[in-house]
Structure 1
C-alpha cells in the first residue's frame, strides 16, 4: 500500500497526495476519483465492513441471543480480513495512533460500524438501548482482536481472538452490576 508506506517513511503530515499517486502509479486525478483525501486511503472499505457486520447480525439464527447475534456479525466481519491486512496492520495502527486527524477518523469508522450493527439488531426486534450497547461491545471486541491479531507473535486467527474478546467484554459488563 503506497500511502501507508509513505506515511510510515516520512509521516502522514509530510506526505502529499501527489507522492501517494506517483508511488501507486496513478495520476493525481485518478487518486481523487477513488478517494476524497489522503486520509480516506487508510479507511477504504468501511462501507463493506459495516455491511458485512450488519449482514452477519441479520443472518444469526432467530433463537440467537443479542450477544450471539452480534458475535455472528463480528465473525462475518473477521472472515473478510486477509493475511495482507495482518501484515500491514501494525504499521496502520501506528500511523493512525500517531496522528490526531487519523485517530479521529478511526473513531468515526468505529461509530459507523456500531451504528450499522445496532440497526441490524433493532431489525431483529432488539430494543434500541440494548442494540446500541451490544453493537458497541461487538465493535470494541473486534478492535481489540484486530490489535492482537496483527502482533507478529500471535498465531490465533482473527475470529478466535474476536470471540475471546467479546466473551471477555461480556464478562466485564456482568461484573459491573
Structure 2
C-alpha cells in the first residue's frame, strides 16, 4: 500500500511538472499585442479632442453670432490626421550631428508655424468673446485647467515639465557627483 501511494504521488508530481513545463514552453502572448494599433490610437485621440472641444463649447454658451467664429477657430486648430505615409526613418543615433541638428531645426520650424496658426485663430476667436467667456476660455483651453500647453502637464506627462522644481539642472536632469 505504501508503494502504491508513493507511485501515485510520484505520478501526480510528474504530471504537475509536465504541465508546468508545457505552460513555460508555450510562446507567451506578446504584451505588445495588447497595445492598440496606430489607427485605434488616432481614433481615440480624435475622440478625446472632440469631447474636449464640445465641453469647451458648452461651457462658453456661445451666442448665435459667435458660432461662426467658433467654427473658424475649430477649423484652424484641428489637429492634422496622420495619413500613415512617413518619410524613411533613420534611427536618430545613425544620423551625423549636422543631420540631427537639421532635423531638430526642421521640427522646430514646423512646430513654430503650427503655433503661429493657433495664435491667429485663438486671437480672432478670443476677440469675439465677452469677458466672462474669456475667463472660461482661459481656464479651460490650452491646459489652463491642467497646467500645460495643449492640456498636458509639461513634457511627457510630467508634472511641471523639464524645469520642475529644483531637482533638474538643465535638460540632463539632476547632476550626479562622484
Higher RCO (CA-CA < 8 Å; seq separation 6+)? 1
Question: Which structure has the bigger radius of gyration?
Answer: 2
Fold match (TM-score > 0.5) = no
Per the normalisation by structure 1, the TM-score is 0.29
